[in-house]
Amino acid sequence: MTDGIILIDKPAEMSSFGVVARVRRVLTTQQQKKVKVGHTGTLDPFATGLMILVIGKECKNAGHYTKLDKVYEATIRLGQTSSTGDPEGEITDVADLHPTHEDVERAMGAFTGDIKQRPPIFSAIKINGQRAYKLARNGEEVEIPERDVTVHSLELVDYTYPEVKIRTHVSSGTYIRSLAADIGTMLGTGAYCTQLRRTSISKWKTEDAQTLADFGVTN
């Protein structure tokens, strides 16, 4: 392939840029010339799931794919917060409250529909030309303004304290780590995201994607 899209099921513990680099290497070897490869929206290193990669001339249409709705499945841990909103951050105990099933559903309902959300400081958002996560890692104060996002649906899949499992259909630009933290704040327990998987982007689903091994990536 020299132009078009490739669907990849990203593994955990790998950056989105790492996925792009590996796919580019395989395609460049196959074509025996440098092939242009881009992503259409990053996934956090701890997260897994669907990435749409654009190849060759299709790179000019990357913005179209970036703006599409997405579906995620996530596990949220109550009672603690994380400095990054995920397992890679500094974990802090907050409260030993045990919300009821109804409490959790009520809190989730407050974050359904058109809402304002503040993205995590450890994110790829650019502030004055620099990635927010780089500024945060350097100990600089990072202030990211709230943005308007839409949570089309937010389903409680399972709840056994301290773990809350959810499935959510959201607009582009929605951060599930922020959603988890906001739910934890409303419950008074604190919360962070321990697992995150993107299962679809518009009509494309993980079932249609290749793993990196399927694609010929060996390391």
The torsion defined by the Cα of 45, 48, 50 and 55, in degrees rounded to 10, comes to 40
Cβ–Cβ < 8 Å for 65, 41: yes
Cα–Cα distance for residue pair 117/148, rounded to 1 Å: 6
Three-class SS state of 35: coil
- Dihedral (CA of 81, 167, 206, 176) sign: negative
What value, to the nearest 5°, has the Cα angle with vertex 147 and ends 151 and 114? 30
Please pick, among 3, 9, 44, 96, the residue that the annotation labels catalytic: 44
Cβ–Cβ < 8 Å for 37, 4: no
Cis peptide before 99 (omega within 30 of 0): no
Cβ–Cβ < 8 Å for 194, 47: no
Q: Give me the count of residues in the chain.
A: 219
Residue type, 174: T
Cβ–Cβ < 8 Å for 76, 180: yes
96 catalytically annotated: no
Catalytic residues: 44
